[in-house]
Amino acid sequence: MSFFSLDCVRKKERELERKVRANDREHNLSFKYATNAIKTSKYNLLTFLPLNLFEQFQRIANAYFLVLLVLQLIPQISSLSWFTTVVPLVLVLLFTAAKDASDDLNRHRSDNRVNNRRVQVLIDRKLRSEKWMDVQVGDIIKLENNQFVTADLLLLSSSEPLNLVYIETAELDGETNLKVRQALPVTGDLGDDVEKLADFNGEVRCEPPNNRLDRFTGTLSCGGQKYPLDNEKMILRGCTLRNTEWCFGLVLFGGPDTKLMQNCGKSTFKRTSIDRLMNVLVLCIFGFLAFMCAVLALGNLFWERNKGSSFTAFLPPLDGNGPGFSAFLTFWSYVIILNTVVPISLYVSVELIRLGNSFYIEWDRKMYYARNDTPAEARTTTLNEELGQIKYVFSDKTGTLTQNIMTFNKCSINGKSYGDVYDYTGQRVEVTEHTETVDFSFNRLADPRFTFHDHALVEAVKQEQPEVQAFFRLLALCHTVMAEEKTEGELFYQAQSPDEGALVTAARNFGFVFRSRTPDSISIVEMGQQRRYELLAILDFNNVRKRMSVIVRSPEGKLCLYCKGADTIIYERLDPSCSKLMDVTTEHLNEFAGEGLRTLALAYKHLDEDYFRDWRRRHHEASTVLEDREDQLDQLYEEVETDLLLLGATAIEDKLQDGVPQTIEQLSKADIKIWVLTGDKQETAENIGYSCNLLREEMKEVFVVSGNSLDDVRRELRSVPETPLPPPAARRALSLSVLWLSRDAQTAMRLDTAAADSLLPDGVLGKDATVMADETANGEYGLVINGHSLAYALERGVERDFLRTACLCRAVICCRVTPLQKAQVVELVKTYKRAVTLAIGDGANDVSMIRAAHIGVGISGQEGMQAVLSSDFSFAQFRFLQRLLLVHGRWSYLRMCKFLRYFFYKNFTFTFVHFWFAFFCGFSAQTVYDEWFITLYNLVYTALPVLGMSLFDQDVNDAWSFQHPQLYVPGQLNLYFSKAAFFRCALHSCYSSLVLFFVPYAAVLDSVRHDGKDAADYQSFALLTQTCLLFVVTIQLGLEMAFWTAVNTFFVVGSLAMYFAVTFTMYSDGLFLALPSAFHFIGTGRNALNQPGAWLTILLTSILCLLPVVTLRFLSLQLRPTINDKVMLKVRQAKATPPPPPRRARMRRTSSRRSGYAFSHAQGYGDLVTSGRFLRRPAATPRTSGSALVGRATAGFSPMGRSAGYSPAGRQHNAKVPDVQVTSLQMYRTMAEPGL
């Protein structure tokens, strides 16, 4: 399935307004709107060969070798046979074509899978099953439960009361909680009557296609009336219909015009930084090749004029061929001979190395997730070495860092903390999967999936402690959850946030079961007894209030307000009598926050009947005014939510994936900066940031930007040096717009405005951008920015201020961001920072970010497979990222750099010998080596050893790589292969070629054999030179390898053995007699290599070539050792497999920071609940006679755990707080009066 597999950028006339008429295909086709089909494939059977060859010959190297082939077919300038170029060129083209064909076949399959899905379409007054690709704008389609939404639809009607539908938007915004959409009443009356739907001829005028997921404007004209349309009437492609039997919708946008596709970003071809560097180097090599050929051509010109006349007797010149023309032909002849400076086998070898390293990733059992049977997958084989150079990681939060599973972990009730487990000595016990869980069998309605470990809390409930029961009663009443009971006793909660679902589930298991609701009542089961509370008002949540309240009337007629919200907000509204209880609860909240839990404070208040009657009247008046409605309601909410009585606090854990904190810590040690880009609210993201060690208490300050205008955001980003230090209380308050940096931070992070203006020119992002230099801060800082502020921060003139501030921080969290904003942040860093980026996510809302980054990683998690399908690499858990980067990425980069350095060295050395020989052969374009040696040098004699090194070499094993993540830093700095490294390699080759030419030349010059015959013939010199060359490059390869295996050894020794076997075979009498023109070095092997002087020459050239290398490495190791040298020395000293890394103890931090509000909550659900628009069918009728409670506490019960007073410090813990004023609730017992 691939919704995103499409290039969303379409070259067409700009659309200003969309006009759609229902059930009128002819009218809608006149506007030429995009169909619902998608096409991602590049080729078909007819176009594959020409298009693929055209693409391949766009590569400079391939075109270069094609030109060489043409030149070799001209006998006047070619001194080499055509097969020396044809064979490797054809191999490269075939290999690449096969790979491209395989990739495009997968794209065809993905396209067909999506386009051929079926949906029911209303055509000719009948519902017909049609393919997705045949759906047109203006069609009315029917969706059924759990179906994917086909296109962007205007909701017409549904099976649910009041024409509601429930949709899951995980592939749009990453949130798995359900959303509600409602149709207009005028269309809702159509129901599922096909005749009425077929007669519907409404016309929609709306905005053109755009990427705004949260906004839609339009009008529906029907029956002479106009009705406004907004986002609440739309269901978008990428959503899934849930808990709704059927619905009908009108197609407004299809295929590439849907909002999902508009957010997908442009699909680009990704190339590694080494590829880009190689393109530059190849151009330099071409220039250098032209220079060498020009020098040799000039040499031929002068030689022909001065010396050539002496040879005309036996080499007569052709008519009209003077020295100038001879020099011209010589130039092209040397272009052919010296072409090995850019060997085509280089590109074949690079592809094989990348393919091999990709297999290592897929075969790695330590990246295999057995629970889901999901191995790691390298979906792109051309980016492996880029994994070893990552500087910035952009991560989604929900489903990537977390499991998106909320659990009720701990709580504080009336000054007592519950949730920790203690042994018989009073020592706190680490909770594991083997720790004994609480038995909830006394509650037949308990959720069997819920687990809790502190038995003291359930015993307190059984003992009917009023404050404990009131705590869970609040959780069962104060929420907007919907209950679904398909069969008796089987409850399913539909919560608009997983946090709220976790709290209601906790109350359910502890005996306070939320059963059902109507617009004006809530039914719960309290310890087995059915009770119905009258719901009088919901004071809804919003981002400013950071709390929600309900006002209910108990069956006994008591009025009570229940409130839950951010502790900082609740504390401001507490009655003064709660001051001491507040102090104790604050200690517990700090402890919970230090463990990264998401906290809420709970409070209540009894209301006077007369006061409430007056308040309710004023509330109704305020809710019906047209102007300042929200302000008036807020004032009424503030009025009633005062003098609250504190009950306690909850602590919810958004379960992190296993190993996330350790992974982030390891990546931070490797100097990798991690930015979290999430659609969640700020407080949620901050809590997870602390939980996973992204944000730490040790940081000097966390800078929060939340301006609501361009000027505000610019001022906040630029006011770091000028802003005075606020008081400590203000710095801790999360409700402030900005947490200003401390004075030390201001000094450390001060930016020079004049210098900043000179760094980058003003211009559109991504064009004419100058790379920003890295700056360092004195200490660690964090940055948090909201989505609406980020929109301004990414605008022209502000983006550089944002990037500079963000790059000075160790961690960055962007909240409430859209998919397109995620991609824009990645593009911002790519544009202005010389760094490699990686984006990792698990949902369709992460696809644009994954495509924008240099490397995209998909998590195959809870939110579908969209991210995986668009990624370059994929696996099941975030913790595998450290192995992908620190092990596979670093090894791949190290191997590729070693390969390139060695490959250029051996080929430059091979080629430069030709250059020196030209000065001794009259610049006649004669080769110094045998033709067969030239053909087989890169394909046979040196291919396997260098491939063995590039596939198996490693400086240290994976355990040492994890113990020393600093080994990753050289890759970020391009220290292993760069332009400087390339030119050092060229100088080394130049020196080696001088030795390899002149030492054998001096050795055979004027020398004689032991039988007195002359040994100075061309063939003997060629054989001696090529043998010296092969020994030198092979020994050099041995020096490069740090990890010898049996395969490497076999390749090295086998290649030398192959050289001698092939040499003696081709120089034999038999092959000469069979093909004398092809094998004319008859007997040269046995005549030249049986002389002791030849082997002495081989030894001497090897020593002279390698001695400077060994000396330089020794001096570097002693005087300037690198991090690799130091770690490899430790490995040698260990002389054994290093012990595994020490087990990381669970981190327990003391923190003054608490959650601002734990919910990923949206405003407006209170109105839905009280209006009845949110309601489903009536739940199954519950039994009113609750079963007898099993295991009710007796008078002799002695509680265990934290509430029993045990403390690791030996002092009484959780004892009753002295001098805490007893509230009316605490004096109240349900046994005497069973209802509150």
Mean pLDDT of 87-107: 80
pLDDT at 709 over 80: yes
Residue 1083 three-state SS = coil
For residue 882, give both structure tokens: 């450290």
Name the least confident of 15-24, 253-262, 588-597, 921-930.
588-597
Give the Cα separation of 268 and 7 in Å (integer). Answer: 9
Among 1145, 1116, 1122, which residue's Cα sits nearest to residue 964?
1122
Rounded to a whole number of angstroms, the distance between the first and last alpha carbons of the chain is 52
Mean pLDDT of 545-569: 90
Among 1061, 1075, 1063, which residue's Cα sits nearest to residue 1020?
1063
pLDDT at 648 over 90: yes
For residue 30, give both structure tokens: 């006149």
Highest mean pLDDT among 743-747, 766-770, 800-804: 800-804
pLDDT at 240 over 60: yes
Q: Which amino acid appears at position 1062 of this protein?
A: V
pLDDT of residue 768: 41
Q: How much of the chain, in percent, has pLDDT values that exceed 70?
A: 80
Name the least confident of 302-311, 427-436, 769-778, 1220-1229.
1220-1229
Give the Cα separation of 165 and 235 in Å (integer). Answer: 9
Name the least confident of 64-78, 689-703, 954-968, 980-994.
64-78
Give me the DSSP letters along 238-274.
Answer: TBEEES-SEEEEEEEE-GGGSHHHHTS--------HH
pLDDT at 622 over 90: no
pLDDT at 187 over 70: yes
Q: What is the pLDDT of residues 959-984, one digit of tens each?
A: 889 999 999 999 998 889 989 999 99
**In whole angstroms, how far apart are CA 759 and each of 65, 753, 805, 1150?**
42, 10, 14, 42
For residue 736, give both structure tokens: 């402030």
pLDDT at 296 over 50: yes
Beta carbons within 8 Å of 296's beta carbon, 6+ residues apart: 330, 331, 334, 915, 918, 923, 925
Give the Cα separation of 667 and 675 in Å (integer). Answer: 12
Is the CB of residue 387 less than 8 Å from the CB of residue 274? no
pLDDT at 345 over 80: no
Give the Cα separation of 1073 and 1080 in Å (integer). Answer: 9
DSSP type of residue 386: G
For residue 587, give both structure tokens: 């200690």
Mean pLDDT of the chain: 80
Give the Cα separation of 219 and 223 in Å (integer). Answer: 13
Q: What is the pLDDT of residues 890-930, one digit of tens each?
A: 999 999 999 999 999 999 999 999 999 999 888 888 888 88
Q: Verify whether residue 711 is a known catalytic residue.
A: no
Single out the catalytic residue among 396, 567, 654, 930.
Answer: 396
* Sheet strands side by side (includes 598-606): 416-418, 402-413, 645-656, 598-606, 559-565, 547-553, 529-539, 521-526, 512-518
pLDDT at 524 over 90: yes
Q: How many CB atoms lie within 10 A of CB 850?
A: 31
For residue 500, give both structure tokens: 């709220």
Q: What is the pLDDT of residues 580-593, one digit of tens each?
A: 999 999 999 888 87
Among 807, 800, 750, 752, which residue's Cα sits nearest to residue 783?
807
